[in-house]
Amino acid sequence: MSKGKVWKYGDDINTDVIFPGKYTYSVLDPGEMAKHALEDLDPAFARSVKPGDIVVAGKNFGCGSSREQAATCLKSAGVQAVIAKSFARIFFRNAINQGLPVVQCSEAVDRIEGGEKISIDFARGVIETAGEVFTFVPLPDSILQILDAGGLIRYTKAKIERGKNQGDSHA
């Protein structure tokens, strides 16, 4: 996995500051969504984020509104993964469903600093920084399959098609 630059934030980052509510029904294109990513938290982020960068944050990342654009805008801004001490439940699901890997690892969050270059091995559950290695519990296979498919819609589509084919073979 390629190295990514870290953008570090604090606890309880809510979906209103990740993707403001005023855009939820007016900004519909994922590329456009990326331009507003983290707008009310860190206006510099959307201007400077590079593909492969990594967001690192404290506890309860993504709390608040269920808006899936909070995950979509980060994914579409090129964010490789979000590492946090914990994730709010709906954001956790949305991120996976958008194909955005989420990693829970408090120890790494405490040690990693903004601007650092780090890499993540999702299957092995390892985060590497310049001088340290952190381990985390990899996501279960059933969830990795959704990530590998590129999100829930692609995953469900493939599942529906498999179902259709199986249906045909019984016919």
Partner 1 sequence: MGQTFSEKVLGRKAGKTVTAGELVTISPDYILSHDNSAAIIKEFRKLEIKKVKCAEKIVIVLDHVVPASSEKYAQNHKEIREFVREQAIPHFFDVHHGVCHQVFSENGFALPGKLILGADSHTPSYGAFGAFAAGIGRSEAASVWATDEIWLKVPETIRIEMRGKLSPMVFAKDIILKIIGREGADRANYKAVEFAGPAAKSFSVESRFVMTNMSAEMGAKNGYFVPDEKALAWLEGKARENFQKVISDQDARYEAVLDVDISAIEPQIACPHTVDNVCPITEVKGTPIHQALIGTCTNGRAEDLNAAAQILKGKKVHPHVRVLVIPASRKEYLKALRNGDLEIMVEAGCLVLNPGCGPCLGAHQGILAPGETAVSTANRNFRGRMGSRDSFIYLASPATVAASALEGALADPREYA
Footprint of partner 1 on this chain (CB under 8 A)?
Answer: 12, 14, 16-17, 20-22, 24-26, 28, 39-41, 59-60, 63-68, 71, 86, 88-90, 93-94, 97-98, 142, 151-153, 156-157, 159-160
Least distance in angstroms from the C-beta of 64 to partner 1: 6
Least distance in angstroms from the C-beta of 5 to partner 1: 24
CA 67 to chain centre: 14
Least distance in angstroms from the C-beta of 125 to partner 1: 19
- In this structure, the strands spanning 126-128 and 133-135 are antiparallel
With respect to partner 1, which residue has the nearer C-beta, 2 or 26? 26
With respect to partner 1, which residue has the nearer C-beta, 1 or 17? 17
How many Cβ atoms are within 10 Å of 99's Cβ, its own excluded?
19
CA distance readout (Å), 85 to 51, 70, 72? 23, 18, 21
- In this structure, the strands spanning 54-57 and 81-84 are parallel
With respect to partner 1, which residue has the nearer C-beta, 10 or 50? 10
With respect to partner 1, which residue has the nearer C-beta, 4 or 68? 68
Contact 100, 71 (CB under 8 A): yes
